[in-house]
Amino acid sequence: MHSLVQDVRLALRKLRHQPAFTVTAMAVVGLGIGANTAIFSIVNAVLFRPLPYEDPERLVRVFTNEKSSDEPSAVSYPDFLDYRKLTTHLEGAAAVEMAIYTLGTEDGAEAVMVEVM
């Protein structure tokens, strides 16, 4: 324990004699902690927190397959209405459309992605 105290005193003395290096090192450590906190907050909100629904494991997303493409595509609104009316396996259904709108700001205009229900 005694050698740890001596090492800390030596480090503080060296840092006091090189203020530019000390400020740079503290700024780099601060930026690293800030970036780590920001990334963890995003990952925590997106991946670790449960969805704000009662039984999120029961949620489904429905796509359709087009003959002209191997990629799944969105279900048309008339098809959605048919699925909602005819199915007995779903408790409820909601249609969501993603769109890009222009938002006017004081500095000009900005494109934003929105989901419309």
pLDDT band with cut points at 50, 70 and 90 for residue 117: low
Please report, for the chain, how many H helices and E strands are present, in that order: 3, 4
Q: Which two tokens stand for residue 6?
A: 């001596």
CA 35 – CA 30 distance, rounded (Å) = 9
Q: Residues 61, 40: one domain?
A: no
Tell me, yes or no, if the pTM score tops 0.75: no
| Range of the structural domain that residue 101 is part of | 56-116
Q: Residues 26, 44: one domain?
A: yes
Beta-carbon count within 10 A of 29 CB: 10
3-state helix, strand, coil in the chain (%, to 5): 50, 20, 30
What are the C-alpha distances in Å from 85 to residues 55, 63, 91, 115, 117?
22, 17, 11, 23, 18
Identify the CA nearest to 63 among candidates 52, 47, 79, 50.
79
Q: Residues 35, 71: one domain?
A: no
In this prediction, residue 40 carries a pLDDT of 94
Q: Residues 42, 61: one domain?
A: no
Among 16-30, 45-59, 83-97, the range of highest mean pLDDT:
16-30
**Per-residue pLDDT at 50 exceeds 80:** no
In this prediction, residue 51 carries a pLDDT of 73
Strand blocks (E) in the chain: 64-65, 72-73, 97-105, 108-116
CA 77 – CA 9 distance, rounded (Å) = 71
Q: Residues 41, 74: one domain?
A: no
For residues 106-114, average pLDDT: 84
Count structural domains, the chain.
Answer: 2
